[in-house]
Amino acid sequence: MKKRVLSVLLCAVMAVSLLAGCGSGNSDNGGESESDKAYVQDKGTLVVGITNFEPMDYKDESGEWVGFDADLARKFAESLGVEAEFVEIDWDNKIMELDGKTIDCVWNGMTLTPEVTSSMECTDAYLNNAQVVVVPKEVADQYQDEESLADLNFAAEAGSAGEEELEARELNVTPVTAQADALMEVAAGTSDAAVIDLLMAAAMIGDGTSYADLTYTVHLNNEEYGVGFRKGSDLTDELNDFFASCYEDGSIQSLAETYGVQAALIEE
């Protein structure tokens, strides 16, 4: 009889312990009841997933990450009372990196595609953009509409909106690691053309740049940029409010002027 009573008590203790463990939202694995904001503030850093994407995120001469997005991310982290930490990721693995908590958000001129919005908790759009075709200047006159692109071999960043636009049109595309690599392919003559973000094209090709012999022609689409957090994250609303305040106080317009992206601002 004593053994039976002891067994019942032990089972009860184990059940209570299991329930307590399931209800805890403070574990490193991120329990369902834990808010993303609390998680980030507890560890003291907002880990931002980026790629080398001028003028959004790139390194200055001292090796520090700067750019329109990088500067905004630092200001947002400061508003949370934490430090921004930038981690360069493989863009094709951004969703896996986010879900695995190696980063806390994807903030890198990210187009709000159906894949992105279904896999992440995304902010409202904060900038406008487009995907454009980049070709050597000497042949630009030959490629001024979509019909003229059929026989070209393209380079585009793997997992990017540019790759998606090319695949939707069943055009020949070679995936590369970054948008900058796509430009290198065209400059080297190993690809006929590239598709990259309009903002990057405006900053990195043409007169006065390292790619003075390249230009952009056809706009394949119009799109919007947003920031992605883990599904259900309460940081999304926090950042939406932050964006609204930055538009209201003019700080986002000032950054746009600094980095040459005024044309991408969303008109209120």
Local confidence band at 34 (pLDDT 50, 70, 90 cut-offs):
confident
Query: How wide is the angle at C-alpha 182 spanned by C-alphas 180 and 184, nearest 5°?
Result: 75
| 68-80 and 36-43 helices, crossing angle to 10° | 90
Could you give the percent of the chain with pLDDT greater than 90? 84
- Condensed to tens digits (0 to 9), the pLDDT of residues 53-65 reads 999 999 999 999 9
Q: Is the pLDDT of residue 72 over 70?
A: yes
Give me the count of residues in the chain: 268
The pLDDT score that the predictor gives to residue 263 is 83
User: How far is Cα 64 from Cα 90, in angstroms, rounded to an integer?
Assistant: 19
Query: Is residue 10 pLDDT above 90, yes or no?
Result: no
Global model pTM greater than 0.85: no
Other Cβ atoms within 10 Å of 255 Cβ, number: 20
**Cβ contacts of 157 within 8 Å, gap of 6 or more:** 51, 91, 163, 175, 176, 177, 178, 179, 181, 182, 196
Mean pLDDT of 106-122: 96
Average pLDDT of the segment spanning 143-161: 97
Query: pLDDT tens, 254-268?
Result: 999 999 998 899 976
Q: Once rounded to an integer, what is the mean pLDDT over residues 117-129?
A: 96
- Residue ranges of domains in the chain, CATH in brackets: 37-128+224-264 (3.40.190.10), 131-221 (3.40.190.10)
The span from the CA of 41 to the CA of 43, in Å, is 6
- Mean pLDDT lowest for which of 9-13, 91-95, 169-173, 242-246? 9-13
Say if residue 158's pLDDT is above 50: yes
pLDDT higher at 217 or 21: 217
pLDDT value of residue 33: 54
Q: pLDDT by residue (tens digit) across 134-149?
A: 999 999 999 999 999 9
- Report whether pLDDT(13) > 50: no
Q: What is the pLDDT of residues 208-266, one digit of tens each?
A: 999 999 999 999 999 999 999 999 999 999 999 999 999 999 999 999 999 999 889 99
136: which strand partners? 214
